[in-house]
Amino acid sequence: MKLNRRKALALMGSTVAASGLAAPALAMNKKIKVGALRFTSHSGSFIAQERGYFADAGLDVEFEFFQAAQPMAVAIASGDVDYAVTAVSGGLVSLAQKGAIKVIGGALAEEDGIDGQKYLISSASYDAGIKTLKDLDGKKYAVTQAGSSFHYMGAKMAAAEGISLSFTPLQKVGAIIGAMKSGQVDGWSIVPHIAKPLAKAGAWHMVANVSDYIPGYQVTTVFTSAKNAADERGLTESFLQGFSAGVDDYAAAMIDKTADQDAMVDLIHKYVYTDRPREKAAPSIINGTMRLNSGAALNIASIQDQLSWFQSEGLVDADISIDQLVDRSYVDIIGA
Amino acid sequence: MSDMSRGKTVAFRGGGFAPKPQRWIGVFVFVTLILLAEWGTRSGWITALTLPKPSDVFDTFRELYESGLLFKHLGPSLSRLVVGAAIGASVGISVGVLIGLFSYIRSGLVPLVAAIFPIPKIALLPLFVIWFGIGEGSKYALIAFGTFTPTVVATYGAVDNVDRTLIRMGQSFGLSWWSIVRKIVLPGAMPGILSGLRISLAIAIILLVAAEMLGAQYGIGAYILEAGSLYDLERLFAGVVILSLLGVFVSFIIGMIERRLLGWRS
């Protein structure tokens, strides 16, 4: 692990040196605020902060923690937060249309071979004979809010199965878990580290993988204010550089297993599941492992599909173009 | 002393602070504010992120009406409001009158009402979902519970404020207990009960949005929450305007009931 860290730092040093002209613009020790949720999917930022990758990129980062993705998007729009990572939602698209924010990179993505998000059927419904996703026709499917990523995942599955779902907004993940446990709603989809333990505890059955229905799904994206994307090029590049270094460490430890996983779990545990002891938090952190795109690459095809779906549902204006939402100039664009 | 004989006219100065209704001033304030917002958003010193154009809000409202969605949202909301508020207000008035009339009930229930009044009813919503189900039951319960406590407090306050001398007079003339309650206490408490209802029904409208947070696909509250999560300010304001109109309408209905029931005052 020590070796890896040193290696990574050396690599960082060489990239900064190699970029030459960009380096003086980067090293200004600028104060920025990064919005985050206490989820493992935000580990890229946490690692970059703990291991000094942000500092190496000349940034003095302060985290601002949120309870949900939507307030974070509004905080970016109001300028209270500079950079954040979250799922593409209808709210995000509306704010982009109003010229407030831009998506500049990709983070969490579904990838074959890595356990991703699961479709679930509540135990009460399962016992009542709803065994497959097709049987959910006309049943209650839980979402946090209209236009959320849960709504998108449910709708894509329903379209593929040729069924119709009754989408039930319950605002919060906690409320949905309660409603699933008591059998008030029939179906849902969620990240594996929440899906697996409660499936074991008998709350619900995992019946399919989200990646089977939405291949290459770009779940979360890196975004910032339109002003930062347009006018603060050096700052934005510095942030992405530090963030990407954190993501690489995460992938090395958690997916490729070429670095010390225990040390990585310790680091993430400083931010995620802080209310639980280490031995209880560790399985959840490890179960939550998913692919964070290397170099914050963005799957533009997936973003386009999500945008088109929001438009077809009438959740956002039909005349928003993908370039109003995305600034392609910062990271590698994949899937185009 | 010639001044004295001529006399000096002194203007009447005891006019008091009697407020006179100025019918058009209220409308003028509304129109000015809306025109100001329209001008600001059009000229650009109010950004699209801060406030929607009032004319766009009006267009959204018209689309809502023309597509028929307005009534699809208004129907469930009104039924939730009517059923929930009817349960809460009728139980509240009954309990309030009982507290006003019987010492044992007063001693037992007043602390209980004081204890449940400050509970934010929204905090109990997840619990209500388990108790009453995710359908209409939990929504009725939330609105009923929210209107119940203010109604109780207003009602027993109103019963306490009934003129004691009237009750003593009734007793002196040998009226039965039931007659006194029916002919003196209830009519005497009615002004207080009705003004309490104005407050508790406004609270019912506020709670409508909270009640539709969980599991409602249609309803004004669900519409406003959806607009908020999509950051769609036009729809958000259109929904808020509907709630305001609902409040004006409820206030108008209570005004009619007051004129009907309190005719004896004039």
pLDDT digits (tens, 9 = 90+) for A297-331: 999 999 999 999 999 988 888 889 999 999 999 99
Look at residue B45 and give its three-state secondary structure.
Answer: coil
Residues B63-67 have a mean pLDDT of 90
Both tokens of residue B245? 């109109």
CATH number listed for the domain at residues B51-261: 1.10.3720.10
Min Cα separation A100/chain B (Å): 8
What is the residue-averaged pLDDT of chain B? Answer: 89
Please give the full DSSP string across A59-109, using - where no structure is assigned.
EEEEEEE-SSHHHHHHHHHTTS-SEEEEE--HHHHHHHHTTSEEEEEE-EE
Per-residue pLDDT, averaged over B79-94, amounts to 95
The Cα–Cα gap between A105 and A331 comes to 6
Superfamily of domain A2-111+217-334: Periplasmic binding protein-like II (3.40.190.10)
Which among A73, A98, A178 is the nearest to B126, CB-wise? A178
d(C-alpha A290, C-alpha A254), whole Å: 9
- List, for residues B34-51, the tens digit of each pLDDT value: 999 999 989 888 887 888
Q: What is the CATH number of domain A118-213?
A: 3.40.190.10
What's the pLDDT at A5?
A: 58
Residue B80 pLDDT more than 90? yes
Which positions of chain A have pLDDT values less than 50?
1-2, 15-25, 27
Q: Is A120 helix (H, G, I), strand (E, B) or coil?
A: strand
Does B95 or A3 have the greater pLDDT score?
B95
Per-residue pLDDT at B214? 79
> Could you state, in order of their start, the residue ranges of all structural domains in chain A?
2-111+217-334, 118-213
Per the CB < 8 A criterion, the answer to whether B142 and B125 are in contact is yes
Let me know how many helices (H) and strands (E) chain B has, helices first. Answer: 12, 0
- Residues near B29 by beta carbon (within 8 Å), at least 6 away in sequence: none
pTM over 0.80: no
Tell me if A91 and B230 make a contact (CB, 8 A cut-off): yes
In chain A, which residues touch B (CB < 8 A)? 70, 73-74, 77-78, 89-91, 94-95, 98-100, 140, 145-148, 166-171, 174-175, 178-179, 182, 184-185, 315-316
**A99:B48 CB<8 A:** yes
List the Cα angle A307/A313/A317 in 5-degree steps: 60
Mean pLDDT of B164-168: 92
- The pLDDT mean for chain A works out to 86
Task: Confirm if B231 and B174 have CB atoms less than 8 A apart.
Answer: no
Q: Residue range B71-90: average pLDDT?
A: 94
Q: Please tell me the number of Cα atoms within 13 Å of B164 on its side-chain side.
A: 1
Find which of A150, A168, A225 to mutate to test the B interface (most B CBs within 10 Å of its CB).
A168
Smallest Cα distance from A237 to chain B, Å: 26
**pLDDT for residue B62 is more than 50:** yes
pLDDT for the residue numbered A260? 86
A46 neighbors A268 (Cβ within 8 angstroms): yes
CA distance A319 to A167: 25
With a pLDDT cut of 70, the percent of chain B lying above it is 97
- In this predicted model, what pLDDT tens digit does every residue of A172-202 receive, in sequence order? 888 888 888 888 899 999 988 888 888 888 8
Per the rule left: phi > 0, alpha: psi between -120 and 50, beta: everything else, A35 is: beta
Is the reported ipTM for this assembly greater than 0.85?
Answer: no
Equal CATH topology for A2-111+217-334 and A118-213: yes
**pLDDT value, residue A1:** 44
User: Is residue A41 a contact partner of residue A108, using CB atoms and an 8 Å limit?
Assistant: yes
> Which residue, among A296, A306, A285, A291, has the nearest Cα to A330 in the 3D structure?
A296
Residue B121 above 70 pLDDT? yes
B165-186: average pLDDT: 93
Number of A to B CB contacts under 8 A, please give it.
77
Query: Dihedral through CA A310, CA A314, CA A316, CA A320, nearest 10?
Result: 80
Torsion of CA B126, B127, B130, B134, to 10 degrees: -40
